[in-house]
Amino acid sequence: MYRPLREALARARPDTLIYITSDHYNMFWETLPVFAIGAADSARGASDYPELERELRINADLARHIHRNLIDHEFDVAMLQELEFDHTVIAPLHFLAPDEDIALVPIYVNAFVRPLPSSRRCLALGRAIAAAVGSAPDHGRVAVAGSGSFSLEIGGPRISDDSHTGVPDPRWLDRVLELLRTADVDALVAEATDEQMWQAGNAGGEVLDWITLLGTFEPRPPDHLDVQRQFGHAFASWSLDGAGSRA
């Protein structure tokens, strides 16, 4: 599953990887920002996968530039000067870049506790992130990654008979895959309503991480798209001519 993405990331040769994810109650519990960006010098993880624990650099200068630009464009984004990574960052990077020293800019989207941001707002956030990177001096080569499921229930009433997770809405999973293949981002945004995301499971809001990522480049079909139906998620990569790779 990860090999095509690892190869795409290697071809992109990024200096910095903007990583769009959702915190799984690792940092955000009593205080839950809708959007947040990590601007420490580095962070460790993952407490839930201690065998994969590592410390990852953060491109704090670029993170602060993006944060300032997002605020200027009326996105109320929290800044994290202390943070730790959970499995949504550490586990994929264990396969994508186990040895590479790529600096991160972690960006968090609330995908679990309602009210969630709208899909339209997340797409606009992605576009604002891309614009902020484009205005940053000496930003080097930048790639963007996202992590999240399309249909997933964790520990709730809609889990499977043999697991603590389930895929409550396989029809929605197939629909998201279809819209990714055809690069119909507008339709995905229109159909990813709060009601639909809840029907897709208590973690169905993670599709917002993908929508934010899709906002960082002009719509186009992915170079690679693969699905793990039993987990309600997919793997995809987009290579942009002269601009690196988003995966």
The 10s digit of each residue's pLDDT in 119-149 is 999 999 999 999 999 999 988 999 999 999 9
Per-residue pLDDT at 47: 81
Mean pLDDT (whole number) for 19-47:
94
Residue 229 pLDDT more than 60?
yes
DSSP letter assigned to residue 159: -
Where does the pLDDT of residue 49 fall: very low under 50, low under 70, confident under 90, or very high at 90 and above?
confident
The 10s digit of each residue's pLDDT in 182-201 is 999 999 999 999 999 999 99
Mean pLDDT (whole number) for 146-162:
94
**Pairwise pLDDT comparison (193 vs 26), residue with the higher score:** 193
Mean pLDDT (whole number) for 89-106:
94
Say whether the peptide bond before residue 115 is cis (omega within 30 degrees of 0): yes
Mean pLDDT (whole number) for 92-99:
93
80 and 31 Cβ atoms separated by less than 8 Å: no
98 and 52 Cβ atoms separated by less than 8 Å: no
Per-residue pLDDT at 38: 98
Residue spans of the domains in the chain: they are 3-246
* CATH code for the domain defined by 3-246: 3.40.830.10
Report the alpha-carbon angle 150-172-202, nearest 5: 50
**Bridge-partner residues for 106, per DSSP?**
19
Tokens of 63: 């993170």
What is the percent of the chain with per-residue pLDDT over 90, rounded to a whole number? 88
246 and 240 Cβ atoms separated by less than 8 Å: yes
Mean pLDDT (whole number) for 19-40:
94
Sign of the dihedral through C-alpha 144, 149, 154, 160: negative
Tell me the pTM: 0.95
Residue 242 pLDDT more than 70?
no
